């Protein structure tokens, strides 16, 4: 995976060791003799699709990997990833002139959608793609305006960047660091939090900070009474409830207040919907906190983030690491 290799290459100059496991999680280690051991984790995978069937005319049918919206799919360009090549295709859409639009229009079923790669037959299509090939939207990362950027897979490659940047900043202040730092770029979050479960078990941290995106609700179609008030450029999100360990959340808030770091408040009443849900369960319970980067239009090809929120969170995490006393364990008393 190109994104994973980019993450590894970014951290190699600062890490004592960088390694990958059997399924492709990437792990960087800093100050391994330190204590406590703090895991910084974010996932590198993205939502997408997988080839399921190619019909006799060469049209490609597919299923979802992660939570995609079928209303967004029609008319989109995609890339089918086949043996190192990225085959261009388009998800077919019937011209509006040919549609019957009486009454309410139901969203399409995924099995009704197909990808046109320009093939004339099943045989021709199967020379270029195979059942099982993965598919992504064909949209890049680009400036929208000022510090706002738009692209697919901000969920959660911006989080993977924040983890890497916090690790780099911590490495530059190694002489002050009491903690051992483990940075992880995890796989398969979107289809089950699988990489996080592996890393939470194998690295055996004393505490974990998980970075993912959170819903920015500063758009006309969001309901703040139901979804909270989160704005781009106003700082990262610190959540309370569920997996979020209260002592860890309190320490993060104290560091933010001490250093004048702006953040926004979120809640996780039942679960966080992030890798934190898998990590905190490991080895009898790992104190864990989920931190969010505000993100508009999540799980779409046009996710929007504010670069300052990324920089702020990376700085916050590095200050948190530098502030930790030796052997802190975040254990509740009584």
Whether residue 146 lies inside any domain: the answer is no
Mark whether 307 and 254 lie in a shared domain. yes
DSSP 96: G
Whether residue 71 lies inside any domain: the answer is yes
Mark whether 128 and 179 lie in a shared domain. no
Mark whether 233 and 257 lie in a shared domain. yes
Task: Determine the pLDDT at residue 20.
Answer: 97
Mark whether 240 and 224 lie in a shared domain. yes
Of the candidates 46, 165, 189, 303, the residue annotated as catalytic is 189
**Of 33, 36, 53, the residue nearest 320 (C-alpha):** 36
Whether residue 143 lies inside any domain: the answer is no
What's the residue count for the chain?
334
Whether residue 11 lies inside any domain: the answer is yes
Mark whether 126 and 116 lie in a shared domain. yes
Mark whether 267 and 210 lie in a shared domain. yes
Task: Determine the pLDDT at residue 104.
Answer: 74
Q: What tokens appear for 251 in the block?
A: 């320490």
Mark whether 72 and 220 lie in a shared domain. no
Rounded distance, CA 139 to CA 40, Å? Answer: 28
Range of the domain at 56: 48-97+107-137
CATH code of the domain in which 287 resides: 3.40.630.10
Q: What tokens appear for 278 in the block?
A: 């898998």
Mark whether 36 and 177 lie in a shared domain. yes
Kindly compute the dihedral angle of the four CA atoms of residues 211, 217, 219, 220, in this order, to the nearest 10 degrees. 160
Mark whether 177 and 52 lie in a shared domain. no
CATH code of the domain in which 78 resides: 2.40.30.40
Mark whether 188 and 290 lie in a shared domain. yes
Mark whether 245 and 296 lie in a shared domain. yes
**Of 50, 42, 66, the residue nearest 300 (C-alpha):** 66
Task: Determine the pLDDT at residue 114.
Answer: 98
What Cα–Cα distance (Å) separates residue 161 from each residue in 40, 54, 121, 139?
11, 37, 42, 19
Task: Determine the pLDDT at residue 331.
Answer: 81
Task: Determine the pLDDT at residue 333.
Answer: 62
**Of 93, 115, 221, 211, the residue nearest 155 (C-alpha):** 211
Mark whether 230 and 316 lie in a shared domain. yes
| Residue 190, SS3 per DSSP | coil
| Residue 125, SS3 per DSSP | helix
Q: What is the number of domains present in the chain? A: 2
- Residue 189 a catalytic site member: yes
The residue with tokens 């406590």 is: 36
| Residue 229, SS3 per DSSP | coil
Whether residue 147 lies inside any domain: the answer is no
Answer for the pair 164, 7: CB distance below 8 angstroms, yes or no. Answer: yes
Whether residue 19 lies inside any domain: the answer is yes
**Of 48, 50, 55, 75, the residue nearest 119 (C-alpha):** 55
Phi, psi of 261 (to 5 degrees): -90, 125
Rounded distance, CA 300 to CA 72, Å? Answer: 7
Digit-by-digit pLDDT tens for the chain (334 residues) are 799 999 999 999 999 999 999 999 999 999 999 999 999 999 999 999 999 999 999 999 999 999 999 999 999 999 999 999 999 999 999 888 888 777 677 889 999 999 999 999 999 999 999 999 999 999 999 999 999 999 999 999 999 999 999 999 999 999 999 999 999 999 999 999 999 999 999 999 999 999 999 999 999 999 999 999 999 999 999 999 999 999 999 999 999 999 999 999 999 999 999 999 999 999 999 999 999 999 999 999 999 999 999 999 999 999 999 999 998 988 866 5
């Amino acid at each position: 995976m190109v994104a994973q290799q980019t993450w590894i290459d970014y951290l190699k100059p600062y890490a004592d060791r960088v390694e990958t496991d059997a399924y492709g999680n990437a792990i960087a280690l800093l100050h391994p003799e330190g204590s406590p051991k703090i895991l910084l984790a974010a996932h590198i995978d993205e939502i997408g699709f997988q080839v399921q069937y190619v019909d006799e005319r060469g049209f490609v049918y597919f299923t979802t990997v992660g939570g995609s919206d079928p209303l967004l799919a029609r008319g989109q360009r995609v890339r089918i990833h086949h043996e190192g090549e990225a085959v261009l295709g388009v998800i077919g859409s019937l011209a509006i002139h040919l549609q019957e639009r009486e009454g309410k229009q139901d969203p399409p079923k995924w099995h009704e959608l197909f990808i046109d790669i320009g093939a004339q037959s099943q045989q021709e299509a199967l020379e270029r793609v195979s059942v099982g090939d993965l598919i992504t939207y064909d949209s890049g990362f680009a400036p929208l305006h000022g510090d706002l950027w738009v692209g697919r897979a901000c969920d959660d490659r911006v989080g993977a960047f924040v983890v890497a940047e916090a690790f780099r900043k911590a490495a530059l202040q190694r002489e002050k660091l009491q903690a051992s730092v483990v940075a992880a770029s995890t796989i398969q979050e979107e289809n089950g939090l699988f990489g996080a479960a592996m890393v939470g078990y194998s690295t055996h941290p004393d505490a974990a900070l998980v970075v993912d995106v959170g819903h920015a609700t500063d758009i006309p179609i969001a309901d703040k009474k139901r979804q909270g008030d989160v704005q781009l450029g106003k700082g990262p999100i610190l959540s309370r409830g569920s997996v979020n360990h209260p002592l860890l959340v309190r320490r993060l808030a104290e560091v933010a207040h001490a250093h004048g770091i702006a953040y926004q408040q979120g809640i996780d009443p039942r679960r966080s919907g992030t890798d934190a849900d898998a990590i905190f369960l490991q080895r009898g319970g790992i104190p864990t906190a989920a931190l969010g980067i505000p993100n508009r239009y999540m799980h779409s090809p046009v996710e929007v983030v504010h670069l300052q929120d990324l920089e702020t969170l990376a700085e916050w995490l590095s200050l948190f690491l530098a502030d930790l006393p030796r052997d802190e364990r975040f254990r509740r008393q009584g």
